[in-house]
Structure 1
Amino acid sequence: MSIDLDQLRNDFTNTPLDEADREEALHLLLRERRDGDADLLRHLLAEETAAHQEGWGVRETLVLAALLLAECGREDDVWALWEAKNASFDTMAGLDGFLLFPAGIAGTTAHVITNEQHPERGELMTYMSEYLEYDKLTDEDIREHVAGLRSHFEN
């Protein structure tokens, strides 16, 4: 299937996408992402997450979907990114933790702290705290990692 990105943007919930279709769509979005693509990216990341719960390894499509969603910069996307990271043992090890800070360290951390009722809040807070402490990351470090990952996919 050759993906019509404009059609997909308008009707992604009713468009069945297999692994190859998702890969094509994600590569198109890498080059042509718009501000309004966050819902589509959340959908694609959810599809990739579900596929990874059933298999081994970490496909680049999961990493690309997480990258593109993180680049949207919305703090509430931390939950979808955390779910992707937790899809399997392999995704926990293979999906970079710096992607869990889509709105920067302060913005994302504040969002997680205020979501007291979220069932994953405690685990995510612990992971974020340990990750930041271990790597001593700053927002600039995160931006550099994101740019490096984007460069990997663009080349």
Structure 2
Amino acid sequence: MARSGGDGLGLDWWLEDAERWELLRFEAVHDEEGLPSDACRRERRDVLEALVAVPGPVDHDFARFLLEQEILLHRHAWGFSRWLEIAALLVAEHGRPEDVWLLWRAIGTSFDTWCGLPHRLLLSAGGTGSTVAHVAASGREERDGLLEHLGEMDEMTGEEAAAFVAERRRYYADGPLRPGEDE
């Protein structure tokens, strides 16, 4: 049974048509106190909460879209929220090498995301060896910085990386959000 997400709409509704994702797109606003926020924050967080509660992996393109929106929010505002990690986990559980770049961007969005997001998510596509090989073979501008960072991390096997992602996902799936928390 799909849990509802965003305005009482079921997850199937969001997954049926990618054009509906626009309703979850980051929209920079400022709240009543003048603090930076996102007009679609609550709806997107409802969807993320529902997605992390169902067995994964979820639709890869949808997971990437949601992570991109959380990155934009965290760039606009400050701090670190569980929702950014949940979105990152939904991407990481696919174990695709090309996702290392999006995960690296999420981690490096701000000082707070650098401190809050587990850097081990970078190794989700097969562990240290596979990730380093993928990054080293790329011609991307951020390659050298990422390789240096990966070299400073403890090594993980692919199995250890997958277990880590699954453990973090269970943590969020099993721990319901308390009223007023991380709003």
What is the TM-score when the length of structure 1 is the normalising length?
Answer: 0.86
Query: Which segments of 5 or more consecutive residues in structure 1 lack a partner in the other structure?
Result: none
Which protein is bigger by CA-based radius of gyration? 2
Query: Which segments of 5 or more consecutive residues in structure 2 lack a partner in the other structure?
Result: 1-6, 26-39, 175-183
Counterpart of 1:153 in structure 2: which amino acid?
A: Y
Matched, 1:96 2:118: yes
Structure 1 residues 30, 153: CA separation in 2 closer, same or farther (over 3 Å shift)?
same
Matched, 1:39 2:61: yes
Structure 1 residues 140, 128: CA separation in 2 closer, same or farther (over 3 Å shift)?
same
Structure 1 residues 67, 16: CA separation in 2 closer, same or farther (over 3 Å shift)?
closer
Alignment partner for residue 22 of structure 2, among 1, 14, 19?
14
Which consecutive segments of 4 or more residues in structure 1 shift more than 4 A?
33-36
Structure 1 residues 140, 54: CA separation in 2 closer, same or farther (over 3 Å shift)?
same
How many correspondences in the alignment?
151
Q: State the identity %.
A: 35
Map 1:1-155; keep pairs closer than 5 Å: 1-9=7-15, 10-11=17-18, 12-17=20-25, 18-32=40-54, 37-105=59-127, 106-116=129-139, 118-131=140-153, 135-155=154-174
What is the TM-score when the length of structure 2 is the normalising length?
Answer: 0.74
Distance 1:16 1:137 in 2: 34
Answer 1 or 2: which has greater helix percent: 1
